[in-house]
Protein backbone atom coordinates (compact mmCIF):
# COMPACT_ATOMS: atom_id res chain seq x y z
CA UNK A 1 0.00 0.00 0.00
CA UNK A 2 1.52 3.37 -0.94
CA UNK A 3 1.71 6.29 1.49
CA UNK A 4 -1.30 8.19 0.13
CA UNK A 5 -3.47 5.06 0.07
CA UNK A 6 -2.41 4.17 3.61
CA UNK A 7 -3.11 7.68 4.87
CA UNK A 8 -6.46 7.81 3.10
CA UNK A 9 -7.54 4.60 4.78
CA UNK A 10 -6.26 5.86 8.10
CA UNK A 11 -8.19 9.12 7.79
CA UNK A 12 -11.40 7.22 7.11
CA UNK A 13 -11.03 4.72 9.94
CA UNK A 14 -9.64 7.01 12.62
CA UNK A 15 -12.10 9.54 13.96
CA UNK A 16 -9.87 11.30 16.45
CA UNK A 17 -6.68 11.58 14.44
CA UNK A 18 -4.19 14.40 14.78
CA UNK A 19 -4.74 17.05 12.19
CA UNK A 20 -8.51 16.49 12.48
CA UNK A 21 -10.65 19.67 12.72
CA UNK A 22 -8.94 20.36 16.05
CA UNK A 23 -5.56 19.92 14.40
CA UNK A 24 -4.25 16.80 16.12
CA UNK A 25 -1.59 14.59 14.57
CA UNK A 26 -2.29 11.23 16.11
CA UNK A 27 -5.01 9.54 18.26
CA UNK A 28 -5.98 12.18 20.78
CA UNK A 29 -4.13 11.79 24.05
CA UNK A 30 -5.52 14.78 25.90
CA UNK A 31 -8.48 17.11 25.82
CA UNK A 32 -7.29 20.44 24.38
CA UNK A 33 -10.01 22.37 26.21
CA UNK A 34 -9.48 20.68 29.58
CA UNK A 35 -7.89 23.18 31.95
CA UNK A 36 -8.33 21.28 35.19
CA UNK A 37 -5.54 21.63 37.69
CA UNK A 38 -4.72 17.96 37.33
CA UNK A 39 -3.58 18.56 33.74
CA UNK A 40 -1.17 21.34 34.58
CA UNK A 41 2.45 20.38 35.23
CA UNK A 42 4.48 23.12 36.84
CA UNK A 43 8.25 23.28 36.90
CA UNK A 44 9.62 24.09 40.36
CA UNK A 45 10.78 27.70 40.38
CA UNK A 46 14.22 28.76 41.49
CA UNK A 47 13.55 31.19 44.33
CA UNK A 48 16.67 33.20 43.57
CA UNK A 49 17.90 32.43 40.04
CA UNK A 50 20.88 34.74 40.47
CA UNK A 51 22.14 32.72 43.42
CA UNK A 52 21.30 29.34 41.93
CA UNK A 53 23.71 29.43 39.00
CA UNK A 54 26.55 31.51 37.61
CA UNK A 55 25.74 34.37 35.20
CA UNK A 56 24.58 33.31 31.77
CA UNK A 57 27.57 32.42 29.60
CA UNK A 58 27.79 31.84 25.88
CA UNK A 59 26.72 28.33 25.05
CA UNK A 60 24.10 27.98 27.77
CA UNK A 61 20.75 26.82 26.36
CA UNK A 62 17.24 28.11 26.95
CA UNK A 63 14.14 25.96 26.37
CA UNK A 64 10.41 26.58 26.62
CA UNK A 65 8.60 24.20 28.95
CA UNK A 66 5.42 23.41 27.01
CA UNK A 67 4.38 21.03 29.77
CA UNK A 68 4.70 23.73 32.42
CA UNK A 69 4.60 27.53 32.64
CA UNK A 70 8.30 28.27 32.48
CA UNK A 71 11.51 28.54 30.53
CA UNK A 72 14.54 26.59 31.71
CA UNK A 73 18.22 27.47 31.47
CA UNK A 74 20.25 24.38 30.59
CA UNK A 75 23.97 23.74 30.83
CA UNK A 76 24.66 21.53 27.78
CA UNK A 77 27.11 19.49 29.83
CA UNK A 78 25.12 18.91 33.03
CA UNK A 79 21.45 19.85 32.54
CA UNK A 80 19.05 22.43 34.05
CA UNK A 81 20.45 25.24 36.19
CA UNK A 82 17.39 27.47 36.69
CA UNK A 83 13.74 27.85 35.68
CA UNK A 84 11.78 31.11 35.36
CA UNK A 85 8.03 31.56 35.14
CA UNK A 86 7.04 32.64 31.63
CA UNK A 87 3.34 32.04 30.91
CA UNK A 88 1.02 29.17 30.23
CA UNK A 89 2.44 26.42 28.01
CA UNK A 90 5.16 28.43 26.21
CA UNK A 91 5.82 27.19 22.67
CA UNK A 92 8.21 29.04 20.32
CA UNK A 93 11.29 30.95 21.46
CA UNK A 94 13.45 33.75 20.05
CA UNK A 95 16.53 35.36 21.62
CA UNK A 96 17.84 38.84 20.83
CA UNK A 97 21.34 40.26 20.94
CA UNK A 98 20.30 42.43 23.90
CA UNK A 99 19.94 39.38 26.13
CA UNK A 100 16.16 39.30 26.10
CA UNK A 101 14.29 36.16 25.13
CA UNK A 102 10.74 36.11 23.78
CA UNK A 103 8.51 33.11 24.46
CA UNK A 104 5.10 32.57 22.84
CA UNK A 105 2.82 31.55 25.72
CA UNK A 106 -0.92 30.91 25.68
CA UNK A 107 -1.93 34.32 27.04
CA UNK A 108 0.83 36.54 25.67
CA UNK A 109 4.47 36.99 24.74
CA UNK A 110 6.75 36.54 27.74
CA UNK A 111 9.83 38.77 27.83
CA UNK A 112 12.68 37.05 29.68
CA UNK A 113 15.74 38.90 30.94
CA UNK A 114 18.28 36.10 30.45
CA UNK A 115 20.97 37.89 32.45
CA UNK A 116 18.83 38.53 35.53
CA UNK A 117 16.91 35.30 34.91
CA UNK A 118 13.46 36.71 35.42
CA UNK A 119 10.37 37.56 33.40
CA UNK A 120 10.41 41.30 32.85
CA UNK A 121 7.06 41.58 31.03
CA UNK A 122 4.13 39.68 29.56
CA UNK A 123 2.65 41.30 26.46
CA UNK A 124 -0.99 40.19 26.06
CA UNK A 125 -2.26 39.31 22.61
CA UNK A 126 -4.47 41.79 20.84
CA UNK A 127 -6.56 38.88 19.58
CA UNK A 128 -9.48 38.69 22.00
CA UNK A 129 -9.58 36.20 24.84
CA UNK A 130 -13.02 35.19 23.61
CA UNK A 131 -11.45 33.87 20.41
CA UNK A 132 -8.44 32.28 22.09
CA UNK A 133 -10.24 30.65 24.99
CA UNK A 134 -8.81 30.38 28.51
CA UNK A 135 -5.04 29.91 28.83
CA UNK A 136 -4.48 26.18 28.98
CA UNK A 137 -2.09 23.37 28.15
CA UNK A 138 -2.16 20.85 25.35
CA UNK A 139 -1.40 20.75 21.65
CA UNK A 140 -4.53 22.63 20.58
CA UNK A 141 -4.54 25.48 23.06
CA UNK A 142 -5.13 28.99 21.79
CA UNK A 143 -2.30 31.50 21.85
CA UNK A 144 1.23 31.84 20.59
CA UNK A 145 3.05 29.19 18.57
CA UNK A 146 5.83 30.21 16.16
CA UNK A 147 7.83 33.34 16.97
CA UNK A 148 10.74 35.25 15.38
CA UNK A 149 12.67 38.48 15.82
CA UNK A 150 13.36 40.92 13.01
CA UNK A 151 17.07 41.13 12.07
CA UNK A 152 17.38 44.57 13.67
CA UNK A 153 15.70 43.37 16.87
CA UNK A 154 13.04 46.08 16.76
CA UNK A 155 10.06 43.80 16.32
CA UNK A 156 9.02 40.34 17.39
CA UNK A 157 6.47 38.47 15.29
CA UNK A 158 4.30 35.74 16.82
CA UNK A 159 1.83 33.37 15.18
CA UNK A 160 -1.30 33.16 17.32
CA UNK A 161 -3.45 30.04 17.10
CA UNK A 162 -7.20 30.67 17.17
CA UNK A 163 -8.90 27.35 17.97
CA UNK A 164 -11.34 26.31 15.26
CA UNK A 165 -10.37 29.08 12.84
CA UNK A 166 -7.60 30.93 11.04
CA UNK A 167 -4.70 32.30 13.03
CA UNK A 168 -3.25 35.78 13.40
CA UNK A 169 0.26 37.20 13.10
CA UNK A 170 0.86 39.79 15.80
CA UNK A 171 3.85 42.14 15.68
CA UNK A 172 5.21 43.66 18.91
CA UNK A 173 7.52 46.67 19.14
CA UNK A 174 10.39 45.43 21.32
CA UNK A 175 11.01 48.91 22.77
CA UNK A 176 7.49 49.94 23.73
CA UNK A 177 6.17 46.38 24.18
CA UNK A 178 3.04 47.36 22.27
CA UNK A 179 1.39 45.35 19.52
CA UNK A 180 1.73 47.40 16.36
CA UNK A 181 0.10 45.16 13.75
CA UNK A 182 -2.20 42.16 13.41
CA UNK A 183 -2.57 40.22 10.15
CA UNK A 184 -4.84 37.23 9.44
CA UNK A 185 -2.91 34.09 8.47
CA UNK A 186 -3.72 30.40 8.04
CA UNK A 187 -4.70 27.72 10.52
CA UNK A 188 -2.35 26.80 13.38
CA UNK A 189 0.76 28.92 12.70
CA UNK A 190 3.40 26.40 13.77
CA UNK A 191 6.37 28.47 12.71
CA UNK A 192 7.36 32.08 11.96
CA UNK A 193 10.47 33.13 10.03
CA UNK A 194 11.77 36.47 8.77
CA UNK A 195 13.54 37.30 5.51
CA UNK A 196 17.22 38.16 5.64
CA UNK A 197 16.54 41.90 5.22
CA UNK A 198 13.51 41.94 7.52
CA UNK A 199 11.15 43.07 4.78
CA UNK A 200 8.91 39.99 4.94
CA UNK A 201 7.62 37.58 7.56
CA UNK A 202 6.81 33.96 6.65
CA UNK A 203 4.17 32.11 8.65
CA UNK A 204 3.94 28.33 8.22
CA UNK A 205 0.32 27.31 8.74
CA UNK A 206 -0.02 23.64 9.59
CA UNK A 207 -3.73 23.01 9.10
CA UNK A 208 -4.21 25.04 5.92
CA UNK A 209 -1.27 23.57 3.93
CA UNK A 210 0.31 26.96 3.32
CA UNK A 211 2.73 29.74 4.09
CA UNK A 212 1.50 33.30 4.53
CA UNK A 213 3.97 35.90 3.24
CA UNK A 214 3.50 39.14 5.19
CA UNK A 215 5.40 42.11 3.72
CA UNK A 216 6.27 45.13 5.83
CA UNK A 217 4.14 47.13 3.41
CA UNK A 218 1.31 45.78 1.32
CA UNK A 219 -1.09 42.90 1.44
CA UNK A 220 -0.21 39.41 2.66
CA UNK A 221 -0.27 36.58 0.16
CA UNK A 222 -0.81 32.84 0.49
CA UNK A 223 1.47 30.16 -0.96
CA UNK A 224 0.12 26.62 -0.86
CA UNK A 225 2.75 24.08 0.21
CA UNK A 226 1.29 20.60 -0.23
CA UNK A 227 3.63 18.23 -2.12
CA UNK A 228 1.29 15.30 -1.39
CA UNK A 229 -1.84 17.30 -2.18
CA UNK A 230 -4.51 18.38 0.28
CA UNK A 231 -6.58 15.21 0.23
CA UNK A 232 -7.98 14.54 3.68
CA UNK A 233 -8.06 18.23 4.63
CA UNK A 234 -7.80 18.66 8.36
CA UNK A 235 -7.52 14.89 8.69
CA UNK A 236 -4.34 14.69 6.64
CA UNK A 237 -0.99 13.95 8.23
CA UNK A 238 1.01 15.43 5.35
CA UNK A 239 1.05 19.10 6.32
CA UNK A 240 3.87 21.64 6.68
CA UNK A 241 5.27 22.11 10.18
CA UNK A 242 8.40 24.26 10.28
CA UNK A 243 10.45 26.18 7.73
CA UNK A 244 13.92 27.69 7.46
CA UNK A 245 15.19 30.57 5.33
CA UNK A 246 18.16 29.50 3.19
CA UNK A 247 21.02 31.98 3.74
CA UNK A 248 22.28 31.88 0.14
CA UNK A 249 19.11 33.00 -1.63
CA UNK A 250 16.31 33.58 0.90
CA UNK A 251 14.22 30.64 -0.26
CA UNK A 252 12.09 28.74 2.23
CA UNK A 253 12.92 25.13 3.03
CA UNK A 254 10.07 22.88 4.20
CA UNK A 255 10.69 19.14 4.73
CA UNK A 256 8.00 16.48 4.36
CA UNK A 257 8.15 12.88 5.59
CA UNK A 258 11.88 12.45 5.07
CA UNK A 259 11.03 12.12 1.38
CA UNK A 260 10.65 15.64 -0.03
CA UNK A 261 12.24 18.98 0.64
CA UNK A 262 10.03 21.72 -0.75
CA UNK A 263 12.03 24.80 -1.77
CA UNK A 264 9.77 27.85 -2.07
CA UNK A 265 10.63 31.13 -3.76
CA UNK A 266 8.56 33.55 -1.64
CA UNK A 267 8.74 36.27 -4.28
CA UNK A 268 7.01 34.17 -6.95
CA UNK A 269 5.29 31.46 -4.93
CA UNK A 270 6.87 28.78 -7.11
CA UNK A 271 8.19 25.57 -5.53
CA UNK A 272 10.66 22.88 -6.47
CA UNK A 273 11.01 19.51 -4.74
CA UNK A 274 14.28 17.81 -3.85
CA UNK A 275 14.48 14.20 -2.62
CA UNK A 276 15.23 13.35 1.01
CA UNK A 277 16.27 10.03 2.53
CA UNK A 278 15.13 9.77 6.19
CA UNK A 279 11.66 8.35 5.41
CA UNK A 280 10.06 9.55 8.67
CA UNK A 281 7.51 12.15 9.77
CA UNK A 282 9.30 15.49 10.23
CA UNK A 283 8.91 18.58 12.38
CA UNK A 284 11.66 21.02 13.41
CA UNK A 285 14.15 22.60 11.00
CA UNK A 286 17.29 24.69 11.41
CA UNK A 287 19.85 25.98 8.94
CA UNK A 288 23.45 26.99 9.63
CA UNK A 289 25.19 30.00 8.04
CA UNK A 290 26.91 27.74 5.50
CA UNK A 291 23.55 26.33 4.37
CA UNK A 292 23.61 22.98 6.19
CA UNK A 293 20.03 22.00 7.02
CA UNK A 294 19.06 19.99 10.10
CA UNK A 295 15.65 18.32 10.19
CA UNK A 296 14.02 16.52 13.10
CA UNK A 297 12.36 13.20 12.26
CA UNK A 298 9.67 12.31 14.79
CA UNK A 299 9.02 8.69 13.81
CA UNK A 300 6.89 6.64 11.41
CA UNK A 301 3.36 7.32 10.22
CA UNK A 302 3.15 3.82 8.73
CA UNK A 303 5.31 1.54 10.92
CA UNK A 304 5.31 -1.08 8.18
CA UNK A 305 7.35 1.09 5.81
CA UNK A 306 8.60 4.23 7.58
CA UNK A 307 11.71 4.61 9.70
CA UNK A 308 12.06 5.83 13.27
CA UNK A 309 13.05 9.16 14.88
CA UNK A 310 16.16 10.79 13.49
CA UNK A 311 18.09 13.96 12.77
CA UNK A 312 18.86 14.59 9.11
CA UNK A 313 22.03 16.59 8.44
CA UNK A 314 21.78 17.84 4.85
CA UNK A 315 24.80 19.49 3.23
CA UNK A 316 24.33 22.39 0.78
CA UNK A 317 25.07 19.87 -1.99
CA UNK A 318 22.02 17.83 -0.97
CA UNK A 319 24.04 14.96 0.48
CA UNK A 320 22.45 13.68 3.69
CA UNK A 321 23.49 11.90 6.86
CA UNK A 322 20.65 10.46 8.95
CA UNK A 323 21.42 10.10 12.67
CA UNK A 324 19.06 7.88 14.66
CA UNK A 325 17.45 9.32 17.79
CA UNK A 326 15.91 7.56 20.76
CA UNK A 327 12.23 8.52 20.78
CA UNK A 328 10.26 11.47 19.36
CA UNK A 329 11.67 15.01 19.29
CA UNK A 330 10.37 18.40 18.13
CA UNK A 331 12.84 21.18 17.35
CA UNK A 332 16.56 21.72 16.87
CA UNK A 333 19.25 24.38 17.17
CA UNK A 334 23.02 24.37 16.64
CA UNK A 335 25.93 25.49 18.81
CA UNK A 336 27.80 28.61 17.79
CA UNK A 337 30.79 26.62 16.58
CA UNK A 338 28.52 24.46 14.39
CA UNK A 339 29.75 21.22 15.92
CA UNK A 340 26.79 20.26 18.10
CA UNK A 341 23.03 20.04 17.57
CA UNK A 342 20.50 20.20 20.41
CA UNK A 343 17.17 18.48 19.73
CA UNK A 344 14.21 18.99 22.07
CA UNK A 345 12.28 15.97 23.32
CA UNK A 346 9.09 17.86 24.14
CA UNK A 347 7.18 16.96 20.96
CA UNK A 348 3.66 18.20 20.17
CA UNK A 349 2.29 14.67 20.02
CA UNK A 350 2.21 11.79 22.49
CA UNK A 351 5.57 10.24 23.37
CA UNK A 352 7.36 13.38 24.55
CA UNK A 353 10.02 13.34 27.26
CA UNK A 354 11.64 15.91 29.56
CA UNK A 355 14.98 16.51 27.95
CA UNK A 356 17.06 17.14 24.86
CA UNK A 357 19.38 15.00 22.76
CA UNK A 358 22.87 16.39 22.24
CA UNK A 359 24.28 15.35 18.87
CA UNK A 360 27.95 15.55 17.90
CA UNK A 361 27.66 16.53 14.23
CA UNK A 362 31.15 15.28 13.38
CA UNK A 363 30.79 11.75 14.74
CA UNK A 364 27.01 11.29 14.99
CA UNK A 365 27.33 10.35 18.67
CA UNK A 366 24.31 11.24 20.82
CA UNK A 367 23.53 11.61 24.50
CA UNK A 368 20.32 12.44 26.35
CA UNK A 369 20.23 15.35 28.78
CA UNK A 370 17.44 16.40 31.20
CA UNK A 371 16.02 19.81 30.29
CA UNK A 372 12.82 21.29 31.72
CA UNK A 373 9.30 19.92 31.23
CA UNK A 374 8.29 18.85 27.73
CA UNK A 375 10.77 21.28 26.09
CA UNK A 376 9.75 22.52 22.63
CA UNK A 377 11.47 25.76 21.64
CA UNK A 378 15.23 26.01 22.09
CA UNK A 379 17.94 28.63 21.62
CA UNK A 380 21.63 29.07 22.40
CA UNK A 381 22.33 32.06 24.68
Give the CATH number for residue 99.
2.130.10.10
Please give the Cα distance from 344 to 64 (Å, whole number). 10
- pLDDT for res 350: 84
* pTM > 0.75: yes or no: yes
Please give the Cα distance from 204 to 185 (Å, whole number). 9
Handedness of CA 118, 333, 91, 180 (dihedral sign): positive
Please give the Cα distance from 100 to 115 (Å, whole number). 8
- pLDDT for res 58: 53
Instruction: Give whole-number Cα distances, 69 to 84, 89, 141, 154, 199, in Å.
Output: 8, 5, 13, 26, 33
Within a domain: residue 306? yes
Judge contact between 328 and 368, C-beta under 8 A.
no
Judge contact between 210 and 224, C-beta under 8 A.
yes
Within a domain: residue 229? yes
Instruction: Give whole-number Cα distances, 231 to 189, 226, 228, 237, 296, in Å.
Output: 20, 10, 8, 10, 24
CB atoms inside a 10 Å sphere around CB 337:
8
- pLDDT for res 134: 96
Please give the Cα distance from 117 to 96 (Å, whole number). 15
β-strand 61-65 against 70-75: which pairing, if any? antiparallel
What is the number of domains present in the chain?
A: 1
Within a domain: residue 192? yes
Handedness of CA 148, 151, 156, 157 (dihedral sign): negative
Within a domain: residue 42? no
Within a domain: residue 133? yes
Judge contact between 144 and 109, C-beta under 8 A.
yes
Full residue range of the structural domain in which residue 150 is found: 60-233+242-380
- Per-residue pLDDT of the chain (381 residues), as tens digits, is 445 544 544 443 433 334 433 333 333 223 323 333 333 334 334 333 323 333 344 579 999 999 999 999 999 999 999 999 999 999 999 999 999 999 999 999 999 999 999 999 999 999 999 999 999 999 899 999 999 999 999 999 999 999 999 999 999 999 999 999 999 999 999 999 999 999 999 999 999 999 999 999 899 999 999 999 999 888 899 999 999 999 999 999 999 999 999 999 999 999 999 999 999 999 999 999 999 999 999 999 999 999 999 999 999 999 999 999 999 999 999 999 999 999 999 998 888 999 999 999 999 999 999 999 999 999 999
Within a domain: residue 172? yes
Handedness of CA 236, 242, 248, 251 (dihedral sign): positive
State the burial class of residue 7 (Cβ atoms within 10 Å of its Cβ: 0-12, 13-18, 19+). buried
Within a domain: residue 79? yes
- pLDDT for res 59: 76
Judge contact between 153 and 98, C-beta under 8 A.
yes
Please give the Cα distance from 11 to 236 (Å, whole number). 7
- pLDDT for res 3: 54
Within a domain: residue 266? yes
Q: With helix as H, strand as E and coil as C, how does the chain read?
A: CCHHHHHHHHHHHCCCCCCCCCCCCCCCCCCCCCCCHHHCCCCCCCCCHHHHCCCCCCCCEEEEECCCCEEEEEECCCEEEEEEECCCCCCCEEECCCCEEEEECCCEEEEEECCCCEEEEEEECCCCHHHHCCCCCCCCCCEEEEEEECCCCCEEEEEEECCCCCCEEEEEECCCCCEEEEEECCCCEEEEEECCCCCEEEEEEHHHCEEEEEECCCCCEEEECCCCCCCCHHHCCCCCCCCEECCCCCCEEEEECCCEEEEECCCCCCEEEEECCCCCEEEEEEECCCCCEEEEEEECCCCCCCCCCEEEEECCCCCEEEEECCCCCCCEEECCCCCEEEEECCCCCCCCCCEEEEEECCCCCEEEEECCCCEEEEEEC
Amino acid sequence: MNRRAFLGALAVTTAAVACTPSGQEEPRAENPTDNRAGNRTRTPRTENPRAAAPPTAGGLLLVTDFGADSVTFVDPATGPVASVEAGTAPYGLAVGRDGRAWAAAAEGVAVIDTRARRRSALVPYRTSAARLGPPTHGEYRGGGMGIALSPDGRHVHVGVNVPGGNGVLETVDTTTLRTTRTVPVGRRPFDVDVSRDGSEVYVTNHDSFDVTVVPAQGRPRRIEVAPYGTEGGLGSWLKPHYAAVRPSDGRLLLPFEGEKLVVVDPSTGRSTIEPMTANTHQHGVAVTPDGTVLVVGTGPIDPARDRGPSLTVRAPTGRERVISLDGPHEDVTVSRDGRTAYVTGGFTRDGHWDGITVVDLRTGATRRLPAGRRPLGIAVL
